Structure 1
Amino acid sequence: MSTQNFSYTLTTSKSVKEVFNILIDPKNWWIGLHNEIITGNSEKIDDEFTFSAGNKAHNSVQKLIEIIPNEKIVWEVIDSNLTFLKKRDEWTGTRINFDISKEDNQTKVVFTHKGLTPQFECFDGCSSAWSQYLEKLKKKLN
């Protein structure tokens, strides 16, 4: 049986360039729900940013490892401390991906958190949080 990564797909009438420009900066979309603090950079290969949320219950460092302008963004989680888990570094080594494409007259965005699988202790809670952020992003894009 294959491992199922958390994934979420949305479409928007905004151009692939507009969408890419929003997604490349997590301060544009990974905020506004749980007292998030985002510091650092996220636009060039090897850029790193720190994400903290839930009054420091979630702390992680993401490194940009792949970028194809207007098509793909991949951050690797290089450090994580999720204080509400037994295995606090559960996110370390996972990847946060955005794949952007044109489909008919729409821009399609596929978000995948590679490595965030149902076997993870935080899968239910983290999937729920991702869904909240991505629903908020969807509203912003429409």
Structure 2
Amino acid sequence: MNNQDFTTTIVVNSTPEAAYQAINNVRGWWLGQIEGPTDQLNDEFSYRNHGIHYSKHRITELLPGKKVAWLTTDSSLEFVEDKNEWTGTSITFDIAGAGNQTEIRFTHHGLVPSCPCFGACSGGWTHFINGSLQSFIDTGKGKPM
């Protein structure tokens, strides 16, 4: 059976190292209130979009120019019945050079089509990864809105 975790891939006009730095600058590409450090192993940060979404993430893996991983340790999604749906899921950014560009494969492990938030959350991630993060890496300006 195919892995059904939500995954999207972008190719950016940047080096793997610059892409890695941009991913770790979460405030540059993700809309909402972000508290805590977002670029140190084992640190935790929270994301809040008031009245819609709260999540807390522990940074579990940092391989410069190659990978960033987070574990979602707490969540509250106000638009679904199981508000803690993200708790215990993980998020990875796999980074690889592709000629003079860089490919980033984003996966939200545990966000699968059977989850009630899949439609809204996969749409949100598509916007933030394929739109805002890609723009942030390529131009220095994210498009979080």
Which residue matches 2:45? Answer: 49
Q: Deviations over 1:79-100 (max 9, x none)?
A: 0011211111000011111011
Moved over 2 A (4+): 139-142
Query: Which residue does the alignment assign to 1:137?
Result: 133
> What corresponds to 1:64 in structure 2?
59
Q: Determine the structure 2 residue equivalent to 1:103.
A: 98
Long gaps (5+) in structure 1: none
State TM-score, norm by structure 2: 0.89
1:140 shift after superposition: 2.6
- Identity among equivalent pairs (%): 33
Alpha carbons of structure 1 residues 102 and 3: separation in structure 2 relative to 1, 3 Å:
closer
Distance in 1 (alpha carbons) for counterparts of 2:57 and 2:76: 12
* Residues 1:4 and 2:14 are matched in the alignment: no
Structure 1 distance, partners of 2:2, 2:8, is 18
TM (norm. structure 1) is 0.91
Query: Pick from 106, 119, 122: which aligns with 2:117?
Result: 122
Letter in 2 for 1:44: Q
Q: Deviations over 1:4-51 (max 9, x none)?
A: 0111101112111111111012112112xxxx1000012222100000
Asked if 1:75 is matched to 2:70, the reply is: yes
Distance 1:49 1:13 in 2: 28
Gaps of 5+ in 2: 139-145
Q: Considering only aligned residues, what root-mean-square deviation do their CA atoms show, in Å? A: 1.1
2:18 maps to which residue? 18
Q: What is the total number of aligned residue pairs between the two structures?
A: 137
**Which secondary structure state, in structure 2, belongs to the residue aligned with residue 80 of structure 1?**
strand
**Match in the other structure for 2:84:** 89
SS in structure 2 opposite 1:4? coil
